[in-house]
Structure 1
Amino acid sequence: MILLENVSKRYEKSYAVRNLSLTVAKGELCCLIGPSGCGKSTTLKMINRMIEPSSGTIKVDGVDVHEVPVATLRRRMGYVIQSIGLFPHMTVLANIQVVPRLLRWEESRSRKRALELLELLGLSPDTYGGKYPAELSGGQAQRVGVARALAADPQILLMDEPFGALDPISREHLQNQFLAIQQELHKTIVFVTHDIDEAVRLGNKVALLRDGRLVQYGSPEQLLAAPADAFVKKFVGLDRALKRLSRLLAADFLHPANSVARQAPPELLEAEFRRLEGSDCARYLWVTDEENRLVGWVDGNNTTEKRLNMLEDLVEIDPADISVRPGYSLKQALAMFVQQSVACLPVVDDERRLQGEIRLADVLKS
C-alpha cells in the first residue's frame, strides 16, 4: 500500500534521508526506529507531504503522492503526534469530529462515529465527550488523539512517537489497547519510535535507520535473531531473547487451570493434589467463587502436615498480584513468575474470571 523508492531529503549540504526504499503492505504496522536524527520522523512526514522529498518516489495504492492534492492526501490519512495537538477550545467530541466535518459528513454520522471511537478506546462518552483537553490526563488525551486520527476511517495511520511522553504504566496500557484495536481494524500504519521494545512489541515490520540510511528492514523476529551488523546488534541490545518474548501472548500458551470451587470439601482437595503429583504445577490449586472469579489458592505442601480444609488453608489474594491477562506478553508474564517465584500463573479476564494457567516451562522454551 505504501511504497518508497530511492527517497532522499537533503538540506543544503547534509541529508536527513538518503536513498530510502521500503514497502509497507496493506494492514501492516511498520515501525521506523533509530537514533535521534536518523531520519525517521522526516520519512514519516514525507509520506503525507508535510515535508517534500528532494528526490525519489512515494506511492500510496500505486499512485504517486505528488499526483494528489495535499489536502486530499492528508484527509485520507490519520496522523498522531507525541504532543497530541488537540484543539484546546473544542470538547473531546468536537476534536474527534474535525476531519469528518471537513469531509462534510452528516452531523449524525459524525457524532455516532466519535461516540463509537470513545467506547473503542475505553473512554466513556458520557464522562469524557463534553470535557476539554485541559481536563484530561496525558493518557486520556492521547487516546482522544488516536480517536481523532481514526475518525474518518482512513486506511493509513501515521504515528510519530505517539506514546513517547507518557509514564511507563500509561504507555504499556495504551500499547495493549492499540494492539487490540489494530487486530480489529487492520489499518496500514507507519509508527515512529525511539524505543526498540515498543517497536518489537507493536510492529509487523521494523525499519532501522542510521544517518538517514536504511540499515535493516524485516520482521521483529528477523532483527532479533539475525542482526545485519554490529550496529543493529548493539541497538537491539543483549537481551534479544527477552525482547522476543514481548511478541508472544499468554493466550497462546494457555493450559486448563487446576482449580476448585471455594465450597470444595477436604476429600476433593486431597484428590486433586494426588492427581497433580509429578506435574509442573503440582503445588497450588487455584480457588474460584460461584462465578468462576479467582479468589485465592491452596498450597498442597500443607498436605504433609495435616488434612486440608478450605476454611483454614485458603490463601485469599488480589488477582492483580498473582495473575496475568490473556493479552499480556510472555515478557510481562516472566516478570510475574520471577516476582512470585512460582511455576504456574493463573490467567484471568477483565472480570477476574479464571481462563486457565500458563507455565514457566513454556516461557523458558519459547
Structure 2
Amino acid sequence: MNGRWHTWLAERAAVRESGGLRRTLRPRRPDEDLLDLAGNDYLGLSRHPAVVAAAEAAARRWGAGAGASRLVTGSLELHAELEAGLAGFMGQPAALALSTGYHANLAAVTALVDRDCLVVSDAHVHASLVDAVRLSRAEVVIVRHNDLAGASSALASAGDRRALVVVESVYSVLGDAAPLADLAALVTAYDAMLLVDEAHGLGVAGQDGRGLVHAQGLAGRPDVLVTATLSKALGAQGGAVLGGHDLVEHLVNTARPFIFDTGLAPAAAGAARAALELVRGDPSLPARVRERMQALAGALDVPPVAGAVLSVPMPSPLVALEAQAAARAEGVLVGCFRPPSVPDGVSRLRITVGGGIPDAEWARAADTVGRVVKEYGAPASDA
C-alpha cells in the first residue's frame, strides 16, 4: 500500500481510538460460559433441536448452497414452502425470500423507486434502508423520529410523483414502535406507499409474534409493504419482502439484490421454516419475551419497548465500553452501541431480552445488568 493510503488509514484509526469508537472482531467459542444479552436470537431458537435438525436435513437433501441465483436453478421447493409459511403467518398475500435482511431492504426500495420518486424516511431507520434509498437515486426527505407532521409535510411536496414512506415497526436502538396506523392513514391520503421493516417485530411483537403490521390490521393492504429478517427471532439467516402478488412479481423481475445473488442457502431456509412453525405453534414464546422485557425495563428505570431490545443511555462511548466489560466479567454479554451506530449520537448499552434463557440464568443475568447500569449509567450527554 502506498504512503498516501497508509497515512489516511492510520489517521482514521487514530480518530476511532481516541474517541472510544474502535471496533474489533471477537470470535465466540461454542462452549463459552456466557449469557448472551447482546445478540438478536430473541426466542432462543438458533440452537433449538428442531431448528438445528431442520437445517441439517435441508443441507443433506439440497446441498450446502442453493447452487445458483433464484432465476437460474437456485429456486428450491424449500424456498417456496418458507415463503408460503411467512406470508400466511404475517397475513400477507405473498413473500419473496432473499439471502439476508439487508438484501430484502435493498431489493424492496431500489426496485420500487427511482430518481423520479420521493422517499420519506424516518431518521432512525436501519443502515440497510439508508443505503437502499441512496442507491435508488430518489429524492429523500429525512423526517425526525416518529414525526407524523413532518411526514405529512414531506408527502404534500411530492406532487404527482410516486412517494414511499420508510419506517421500522420496532426500532433497533431505542426499541420503540412506529405509529403505523397513523402512517397508513397518511399514505392513503397522499396516494403513497408505506414500507415497514419488521426485522425486530417478527416473532416478538403483535398477536403471537406476527408483527405490528398484522397487529394494527394493516396486513394485506396494497399500499403497505413489509420486509423482515430471518436472522433474529427465527434464529436462522436470510430476509424476505412481503406484499401483494403483483409486488413480488415486480421484484422477481427487477430487484438486482434478488436477481444477481445466489439463492438463500438450504440450511438457513430449512431452519427458518422450522422456527416459524415453532412460533406459530407456541404463543408462549413471544409472550415470555414481553413479560421479561416489562420486568427488566422497570428494574432499569427505562421505558418498556415494543420488541425485545432495551436501550440504556451511557455518559460517553468510553463509559459504555467500561460498563460492557464489567458485565462480561460477571459472565453476561450486553451490546454497546456507539456513534455512528446510534441515530441520535448517544452511546448506549443495548440489552436483548432473551426468551430462550432458563429462568434461573435469566434472573442472574438481570441482576448483573441492574448492578452494572446502576454503577455506570448516568443522564446521557451528547456522546
Q: Could you state the TM-score of these two structures normalised by the residue count of structure 1?
A: 0.31
> Max radius of gyration: which structure?
1
Larger RCO: Structure 1 or Structure 2 (Cα < 8 Å, ≥ 6 residues apart)? 2
Structure with greater proportional strand content: 1
Q: Could you state the TM-score of these two structures normalised by the residue count of structure 2?
A: 0.30
